[in-house]
Amino acid sequence: MPTFREKLSAAAKKNESLVCVGLDPDPALMPIEDVAEFNAAIVEATADLVCCYKPNIAFYEALGISGLEALRRTLECIPQDIPVICDAKRGDIGSTAKAYATALFEWWGFDAATVNPYLGRDSVEPFLEYADRGILVLCHTSGPGSVDFQDLTVERDGVQRPLFEEVALRTRSWNERGNAGLVLGATFPQQMETARQLCPDMVILAPGIGAQGGDLESTVRSGVDAQGGGLIVNSSRGVIYASRGRDDFADAARRAADELRRAINAARE
């Protein structure tokens, strides 16, 4: 079985794409009612244009158990060679983190998951133990509240740096199996650049393009690794709700994903 990293690289190469489509169903925005059907149409329209998919599990949980059933059906229609990141931002003490890792990696079978570092190493380690999965640690997030704590200057061993840099450095030190990565919001390109310098080889997941206002060019320039890859640019609303028409939403999603793919590739050159 290939690792998340291998699967991601292969899909990125095959589809010439760093695009991740965020599968975030919102009943107020969806042109059709059935979540699994909506997602299946989006996946069918975009599977040759992406390097991965990223359902944010919050949107399924908001629909209750039937929402989670729809997520299960969605996973069944994603081609085997496209990795799926569960955006779950879990974080709990060791014994409980183990239960979350079991849920996401064993019961659901996701290739990767986002995790929250606030509870420290024992909250991240049970995820990292799955050497073939990707563990994307929240470093500097895309929302306005990210500055409340993540940008505060912290001191350790006499050195001062912003908290998100400390998170990047700790994640690097925990990354014994090479399966850790970072989440850096596209709305903060300076922080992304700094984190990329601290962690030159890690995968970076960059949400915040589109609806949230992140700048694509600076995200790509500051986020890619030395080989021009190692970056996942997520768009959710900008792709899946590109049109809210029942008859053309899938085509519009395809066009939006392809436009994003081309714009990223232009910025990589």
| 218 CB-contact burial (10 Å; exposed 0-12 / middle 13-18 / buried 19+) | middle
101: exposed, middle or buried (C-beta count within 10 Å: 0-12, 13-18, 19+)?
buried
- The least CB distance from residue 227 to a second copy, in Å, is 30
244 lies in the site for a second copy, by CB under 8 A: no
Say how many Å lie between the first and final Cα of the chain, rounded. 32
**Binding-site string for a second copy from residue 60 to residue 89, where x marks contact by CB under 8 A and - marks none:** -xxxxx--xx--x--------------x-x
**Nearest CA-CA partner of 62 in 73, 54, 53, 71:** 71
Q: How far is the CB of 196 from a second copy (least distance, A)?
A: 20
Query: Which residue in the block uniquely carries the two structure tokens 């601290």?
Result: 198
Does residue 144 belong to the site contacting a second copy (CB under 8 A)?
yes
Residue 163 tokens read as 């908290």
Query: Is position 112 an interface residue for a second copy (rule: CB under 8 A)?
Result: no
**For a second copy, which residue of 4, 53, 59, 188 counts as binding (CB under 8 A)?**
59
**Pick from 1, 33, 107, 226: which binds a second copy (CB under 8 A)?**
107
Instruction: Specify the residue, 62 or 131, whose C-beta has the smaller distance to a second copy.
Output: 62
- Judged by DSSP in three states, 238 sits in helix
Among 118, 190, 197, 201, binds a second copy (CB under 8 A): 118
Rounded CA-CA distance 79/43 in Å is 9
Restricting to residues 204-243, which ones interact with a second copy according to CB under 8 A? 212
Q: Tell me whether strands 112-115 and 85-90 are parallel, antiparallel or unpaired.
A: parallel
Which residues are known catalytic residues? 89
**Which residues would be at the binding site for a second copy (CB under 8 A)?**
24, 26, 56, 58-59, 61-65, 68-69, 72, 87, 89-94, 96-97, 99-100, 102-103, 106-108, 116-124, 138, 141-150, 152-156, 160, 163, 166-167, 170, 212
